[in-house]
Structure 1
């Protein structure tokens, strides 16, 4: 019995260890829009809050070139289908908003294909909008990134 358990554990470890890492999104991405939620409605963010607007991000194999905390090394990528309740680390639920209305206001399908970036400055979720843009909330500002 012990031998079967060890063989199974070894095969499982081999399978987990051989899983290919997810590829980063190609190209350069522009922070093209910055909004804040007023209730469950998006309104343009004040210029003082929209500090990344007009800046770009490039996702590399093991690093990200971009502004602020997005400039990081040791980057790894994964993708998940995230339900509306999980968008922006559960912001809607924490703010007592209806998650589906919140998602709709941000142009996000429910669920949304989500790029999960982990690197040496943190963990970031980029949700894929219906138009192909990436959407991320940073410092309570909802940014849309368009591929250039």
Structure 2
């Protein structure tokens, strides 16, 4: 072992360099992480989580099936019910209702193409999703409104 002292910043830089050289993250993962981190900047309005049936009063997650989620802000509400598909637990079934009724609803997941889903006249939609992270984005008038990033599968 060397007697030369090394400070924390230099040590972290050396570890980061060795890790990047020996086991770099896949480019696909890097791109998905960058896209997920910048999603909020692409929206006109990010609606806030108002209710999650899996959260207890202490903030801990429970296993509530189905899972109810409500996002609200500026007179806009996105209500979701999420549960596993009976025949394939790796697939989540999302049933939602958005008020006011959007012109379009898009499902976004890191590293995957956007998916537009049909919306009825009452603002309801349903989709099966095999992703673990998703964001619901609604076009309401000329505003793109999105939920926070939702973890679907535990």
TM-score, normalised relative to structure 2: 0.26
Structure having the higher helix fraction is: 1
**Larger RCO (CA under 8 A, 6+ residues apart):** 1
